[in-house]
Structure 1
Amino acid sequence: MAMTMKVYEVDREGHTRIVREETEVVPLEQPEASHQFPVCECPECKTTAR
């Protein structure tokens, strides 16, 4: 089953702006085991103690 997705942003006054036009996307058959974000690898985070 296909789905559609459109990305837009709304400003403080309620005006919308389309960031990406509507497009068809295919959902995953099996969700990934974890949806946690990976550890940040930016220079600032690499030098900061975790």
Structure 2
Amino acid sequence: MTMTIKVYEVNRDGLTRIVREEAEVVPLTQPEASHQFPACECPECKTPAR
């Protein structure tokens, strides 16, 4: 199964600009561990709950 992806941005006035044209992509059957978001390192999240 293939999917399509198109990257665009929208400014505060609602105007869109295409960053990358539509392209066909094949999704991974099993995502790699490196594609996961890392743990948040902001001071609020690093401080232990009281």
Judge same fold: TM > 0.5, yes or no.
yes
Question: Higher helix share goes to which structure?
Answer: 2
Structure 1 residue ranges (4+ consecutive) displaced by more than 6 angstroms after TM superposition: none
With the length of structure 2 as denominator, give the TM-score of the two structures. Answer: 0.65
Q: How many residues align?
A: 37
Which segments of 5 or more consecutive residues in structure 2 lack a partner in the other structure?
39-50
- 1:33 & 1:19 partners in 2: Cα distance? 27
Which segments of 5 or more consecutive residues in structure 1 lack a partner in the other structure?
38-50
With the length of structure 1 as denominator, give the TM-score of the two structures. Answer: 0.65
CA RMSD of aligned residues (A): 1.4
Percent of residue pairs bearing the same amino acid type: 73
